[in-house]
Amino acid sequence: MLGQAADGSIWFFCNGCDMPHSLQVGAGTGPRWGYNGNPVSPTFTPSVLSRYQMRDKELVCHSFVTNGRIQYLGDCTHHLVGQTVDLPNWEESWARW
């Protein structure tokens, strides 16, 4: 379900954005998320908020990741706004991306 980078960040694939999102977990500097340590059914706290520019438009992805499911909140600007879906398989999604 998850990827992990050499710097220790945890990655999950977001089908709403059609791209990966990364989180820093554990001790260290900068923003950090709580992580239940379960790569199959992960929970991150607090919510995950990504804002980015794509061409001339600001995009927002805001979600809770709980027990391996992504709950997309009402301020998302993509097609999965308001829905809760299973986290996609990391390896399959990464290979397709």
> For the segment 29-64, what is each residue's pLDDT rounded down to a tens digit?
999 999 999 999 999 999 999 999 988 889 999 999
Q: What are phi and psi of 19, to 5 degrees?
A: -160, 165
Q: How much of the chain exceeds pLDDT 70, in percent?
A: 100
- Residue 66 burial (C-beta neighbours within 10 Å; 0-12, 13-18, 19+): middle
Distance (Å, rounded) from C-alpha 79 to C-alpha 35?
26
Tokens of 9: 């960040």
pLDDT at 69 (0 to 100): 98
* pTM, entire model: 0.91
Overall average pLDDT of the 19-24 stretch: 96
Dihedral of alpha carbons 1, 85, 17, 22, sign: negative
- C-alpha distance from residue 20 to each of 11, 23, 27 (Å): 6, 10, 22
